[in-house]
Amino acid sequence: MERTLEWTHIIVHHTGAEEKDTEQVRSYHLSLGWQDIGYHFVIERDGKIVKGRSLSRPGAHCRACGMNFKGIGVALIGNLEFHPPLKKQEEALVHLLRSLGESFSIPVINILGHNEVPAANTLCPGRFLVMEQIREKVRAYSTSVNTQPQLYRVQVGAFSRKKNAEALAQKLRGAGFPAIIVSR
């Protein structure tokens, strides 16, 4: 049965390896018996954005929270647990996130690193890809062209100790809410 996909999130990954290019990632995923590369877009080292699997099909990049069916999968080549993304890669990422966000009316808060998805137990996209900074850049980009939709955030608490924030976020996640912690 053909299922109509509605993209409400964008999930950011690193490939976790140092592939040469998108084709190498694709052949690896095909070797796993997958129908195609798992991501919808791959960003190579020179900042080139390469199309992965078609957006008319669910991805194979994040099973947690059913994100394969509602989250567009974007991956940067490299292991960003060990080194930061290259400048061109990061610029391409911000550009891609902004244009996907506009095309599919996805709010910036729904742009998540793989490990920010509740119950996704992973280091991906690596500690050198700081998602809060990426979202900040996408926001700055978006408001400069005034396309940001009005958003209503629900705030439930602010804590001076991160541990206490973690505890509340954990409770909310337990109740099924995708809580994330932002620091300022």
- For the bound state, the minimum distance from the C-beta of residue 159 to Zn ion, rounded and expressed in Å, comes to 28
Rule CB under 5 A: is residue 124 a binding residue for Zn ion?
yes
Name the one range near Zn ion by CB under 5 A: 30-38, 90-98, 124-132, 154-162.
Answer: 124-132
Nearer to Zn ion, 61 or 141 (CB): 61
Name the one range near Zn ion by CB under 5 A: 21-29, 77-85, 108-116, 141-149.
Answer: 108-116
Nearer to Zn ion, 9 or 13 (CB): 13
Nearer to Zn ion, 55 or 123 (CB): 123
- For the bound state, the minimum distance from the C-beta of residue 78 to Zn ion, rounded and expressed in Å, comes to 12
Name the one range near Zn ion by CB under 5 A: 26-34, 94-102, 110-118, 169-177.
Answer: 110-118
CA–CA distance, 61 with 114 (Å, rounded to integer)? 9
Nearer to Zn ion, 129 or 165 (CB): 129
Rule CB under 5 A: is residue 25 a binding residue for Zn ion?
no
Instruction: Name the phi and psi angles at 9, rounded to 5.
Output: -135, 165
Rule CB under 5 A: is residue 114 a binding residue for Zn ion?
yes
Angstrom CA distances, 20 to 91, 95, 122, 163, 166, stand at 19, 22, 23, 40, 38
Rule CB under 5 A: is residue 13 a binding residue for Zn ion?
yes
CA–CA distance, 180 with 170 (Å, rounded to integer)? 9
Give the interface size with Zn ion as a residue count (CB under 5 A): 3
Contact status, residue 128 vs residue 14, Cβ threshold 8 Å: no
Q: Terminus-to-terminus CA distance in the chain, angstroms?
A: 46
Q: Which of 35, 39, 69, 67 has its CA nearest to residue 52? A: 39
Nearer to Zn ion, 120 or 168 (CB): 120
Please give the single-letter amino acid code of residue 140. A
Antiparallel, parallel or unpaired: β 111-113 and 49-51: unpaired
Under the rule (CB under 5 A), what is the footprint of Zn ion? Answer: 13, 114, 124
